[in-house]
Chains A and B, each alone.
Chain A
Amino acid sequence: MSFANALRCRECGREYPLSPNHVCEFCFGPLEVVYDYEAMAKKVSRKSIAQGPLSVWRYADFLPCEGEPVDLQAGFTPLIPAKNLGGLLGLKHLYLKNDCVNPTWSFKDRVVTVAATKAREFGFTTLACASTGNLANAVSAHAARAGLEAFVFVPSDLEAGKLLGSKIYGANLVAVDGSYDDVNRLCAELGDRYKWAFVNINIRPYYSEGSKTLGYEVAEQLGWRAPDHCVVPLASGSLYGKIWKGLQELTKLGLIDAVKTRMSGCQAAGCSPIVTAWENHTFNFRPVRPKTIAKSLAIGNPADGYYTLKIMAESNGAGAAVTDDEVVEGIRLLAETEGIFAETAGGVTVSGLRHLVQAGHVDPDEVVVAFITGAGFKTQEAVENALPAAIHVQPTIASFEQALAARQGESAPVTGAASS
């Protein structure tokens, strides 16, 4: 049973019934799901959660769904102590939330499992989205699982892995010739015209609630406590805000102590409207035209930018922007130190964390969680030219040893560590 009881405008506070609606009719502010926390508190406990499945659905009572989940077992991903990377950065308690291992290899499975469940509950037969890849993959897979038709809209210059990762599930992949802004506008207009469940338009209030599970999981995996510091990649800002909301809800329900978590966010310098506003000490960000290899974060006019900046100020967090070269370095550093191959967003987070440490925004003794939101095999183009070629040999020991000698002294790993 869901404890969701209404949609509420985040700007003017007007309430609406639970329906496929996302914008306040009065002020055009975004709508958010509200819950009966009093009733929820009577039902949920650490024990009841522990008895649930090893997926986001162990937190079903915190989510706005009534029906049978459209479930590919998204979530409950590993929280890994990162001693190598932590040691390199001077952090004693660094953890990585590895969301690369979700069913379609990104955190978007969390939001889409909720959105698809809600869409089916509302009686929709088509699932749709506007995406830069990961969301399209998750929508395509969950639509297949649910027996729904899928239409996914992406910019036509996306990485090949992300295009293939939607087509394989039988989705209608619509590659739009145009800028991100063009895709954005087209999908907003289509959302008005077609009776489809656009997960990030008319289903958005429910969809975004799926990201709260990252906050729940991290707290549970740390032994029911909030981290001291979260470092999150920023696109629309929704993920960041929902991790914060998830932690706050656990406190409200008496499942963890008061949250003192500092919330920091990272963007690519080629698309950093939120970080730039944070640097300028303002809550008003200026929209930008994205120009970065971190395409999954290339949101020039972030829907939750203002709310992100508010949380950043309230939680005493910070922002960091990294160059595209640093994105690649971050991907390699994470892979070489911790064995996790992340997509470009992960490179932004790791290099952003390094910036935050160097600027003194992260205390070495803090329990820090860095969120790695998608797997690297989707964005191989970003790193393929940065890596050394394979050692090519004939099938003889002499050839191998000759090649090995030639390789010595060549491109060292980004960590600078000697190979053994």
Chain B
Amino acid sequence: MARLRVKFTFPPDLVREPIIWEIGRRFDLVTNIRRADITAEVAWATLEIDGEEEEIERGIKWVTEKGVRVDPVEDSIIEG
């Protein structure tokens, strides 16, 4: 089993879709939201995802293809 801590940022057109619920239905993954802010202008959630490493990769690929931006929970850790 593996565990990934990530931040999902949703574009406005995806805010009404139950993406996090769906990732748990489509893939053998357990999601646990730790912090989120969903408004008309911005929508993000930090969450922990548990599952087999390959399953996590498949799930992340699926949400990315849906148009969700996936970042580490730290946001951009790359620095000048």
Assembled-state Cα–Cα distance A345/B35 (Å)? 33
Contact, CB under 8 Å: A303 / B34: no
Closest to B69 in A: A287
Is B54 part of the contact surface with A, judged by Cβ < 8 Å? no
Return the contact of A132 from the options B39, B41, B80 (Cβ within 8 A). Answer: B80
Contact, CB under 8 Å: A129 / B34: no
Chain B: interface residue total (CB-CB under 8 A): 21
Assembled-state Cα–Cα distance A285/B80 (Å)? 20
Q: A180-B78, A183-B78 are in contact. Are A188 and B69 (CB under 8 A)?
A: no
Assembled-state Cα–Cα distance A183/B77 (Å)? 9
Is B28 part of the contact surface with A, judged by Cβ < 8 Å? no
Instruction: Tell me which residues across on chain B come within 8 A of A131, comparing CB atoms.
Output: 78-80
**How many residue pairs bridge A and B at CB < 8 Å?**
104
Assembled-state Cα–Cα distance A181/B35 (Å)? 22
Interface SS of chain A: helix, strand, loop or mixed? mixed
| CB interface residues, B 33-80, toward A, < 8 Å | 34-35, 37, 39, 41-42, 46, 69-80
Instruction: Tell me which residues across on chain A come within 8 A of B78, comparing CB atoms.
Output: 130-132, 180, 183-184, 187, 200, 299
Contact, CB under 8 Å: B74 / A188: yes
Closest chain-A Cβ to B44's Cβ sits at a distance in Å of 8
A-B contact pairs, 24 of them (CB 8 A): A22-B74, A23-B73, A23-B74, A26-B34, A28-B5, A28-B34, A106-B80, A108-B80, A181-B71, A184-B77, A187-B77, A188-B74, A188-B77, A200-B79, A235-B80, A236-B79, A285-B42, A287-B69, A295-B80, A296-B80, A299-B80, A301-B75, A302-B76, A303-B75
Write the residues of chain B forming the contact surface with A, with a CB cutoff of 8 angstroms. 5, 9, 34-35, 37, 39, 41-42, 46, 69-80
